[in-house]
C-alpha cells in the first residue's frame, strides 16, 4: 500500500438539518488540506444527525446524484482531500426506502464507493432503515491504499471484516455512533478485527449530546499491532494518523498467516 495521511474528525453535528453539517464537513476539509491530510473521515450519519424520527427522513435523506452530494464532491476536489462521511441515503428508485450509508469520495471529487449498513442496530434503526444487501463488502483503491467500509454495529461481527480482509484491505473506514457505556466493549472488538485481518481500522465516533442521547467520542485509529492514534476524551477532536502498514502487514502474515491457515471446509455452519 501507499502511505496515507488520514484525518478523523470527532465532532458534534446538528440533528435534523443538513446545511450546518455540510458547513462542518467543509471546515474539516479546509483543516485537513491545510495540514496535508489526504483523507478526512467523519462519524456515522453525520450529514443528518443520528437521533432522527421516521417523519424526518425524507427531509434529510440525499441521493448520490443529488445537489448536496455534488456540492461535497466539489468541496473535496477543491481541497484536494478525499472524504468519507455517514448519511441517510434515499433509494433512487423508491423515495420511501432509506439506508444508513457511508460514502468515499476521492481527491478528484469522484465517488469511489457507497456502503449501506448491513447490520442495523436495534429496533429503532431497523424501523428507520433498509439493510444493505449482497455485494456491499467491497474494496476500492484510493491512491494505492485498498479501502473498505463498514458502519458501527457491522464491526461487532467478524464476517464483514473478514470479507474485506480476504480482498487485501489496508484500511477499513468504520464511522460509528456509540454512547460512552459501550465504548470499551466495542473498542476490544474493533481491535480484534484489525488483528484478525492485518489492517488498520478508523473507528470514528460522534461526540456531544443529541436530543438527550450522549455520544462517547474516544475515536480510535488502530492497526494490527498497536493503536495509531486515539482521542482521549468525548470532546471535539481533530486527529491525524500516518498509515503505511505494508511492511508490517507482511511481517505479521509471515509469523501468523491467518489467511493461508484458514480451513473454509470446516466453516459450513456459518452459512
Spatial distance between the Cα atoms of 218 and 200, rounded to a whole number of angstroms = 16
Output DSSP code: residue 234.
Answer: S
Q: Give the CA count within 13 Å in the CB-facing half-sphere of 116.
A: 18
Spatial distance between the Cα atoms of 68 and 8, rounded to a whole number of angstroms = 21
Q: For residue 231, give the nearest of 11, 71, 5, 29 by alpha carbon.
A: 11
Catalytic residue annotation: 44, 117, 152
Alpha carbon distance, N-terminus to C-terminus of the chain: 32
Q: How far is residue 88 from each of residues 79, 98, 103, 169, measured CA to CA in Å?
A: 24, 7, 11, 25
Neighbours of 211 (CB within 10 A): 11
Amino acid at each position: 500500500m501507499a502511505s496515507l495521511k488520514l484525518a478523523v474528525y470527532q465532532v458534534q453535528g446538528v440533528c435534523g438539518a443538513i446545511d450546518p453539517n455540510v458547513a462542518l464537513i467543509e471546515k474539516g476539509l479546509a483543516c485537513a488540506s491545510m495540514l496535508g491530510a489526504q483523507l478526512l473521515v467523519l462519524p456515522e450519519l453525520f450529514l443528518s444527525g443520528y437521533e432522527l424520527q421516521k417523519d424526518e427522513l425524507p427531509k434529510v435523506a440525499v441521493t448520490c446524484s443529488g445537489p448536496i452530494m455534488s456540492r461535497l464532491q466539489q468541496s473535496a476536489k477543491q481541497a484536494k482531500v478525499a472524504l468519507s462521511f455517514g448519511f441517510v441515503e434515499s433509494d433512487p428508485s423508491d423515495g420511501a426506502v432509506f439506508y444508513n450509508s457511508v460514502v468515499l469520495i476521492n481527491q478528484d471529487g469522484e465517488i469511489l464507493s457507497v456502503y449501506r449498513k448491513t447490520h442495523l442496530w436495534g429496533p429503532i434503526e431497523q424501523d428507520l432503515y433498509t439493510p444493505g444487501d449482497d455485494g456491499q463488502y467491497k474494496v476500492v483503491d484510493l491512491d494505492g491504499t485498498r479501502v473498505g467500509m463498514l458502519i458501527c454495529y457491522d464491526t461487532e461481527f467478524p464476517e464483514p471484516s473478514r470479507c474485506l480482509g480476504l480482498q487485501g484491505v489496508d484500511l477499513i473506514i468504520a464511522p460509528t455512533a456509540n454512547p460512552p457505556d459501550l465504548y470499551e466493549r466495542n473498542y476490544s472488538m474493533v481491535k480484534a478485527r484489525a488483528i484478525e485481518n492485518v489492517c488498520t481500522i478508523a473507528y470514528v465516533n460522534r461526540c456531544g449530546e443529541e436530543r438527550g442521547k450522549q455520544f462517547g467520542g474516544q475515536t480510535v485509529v488502530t492497526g494490527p499491532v498497536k493503536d495509531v492514534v486515539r482521542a482521549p476524551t468525548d470532546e471535539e477532536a481533530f486527529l491525524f494518523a500516518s498509515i503505511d502498514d505494508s511492511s508490517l502487514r507482511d511481517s505479521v502474515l509471515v509469523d501468523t498467516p491467518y489467511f493461508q491457515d484458514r480451513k473454509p471446509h470446516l466453516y459450513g455452519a456459518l452459512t
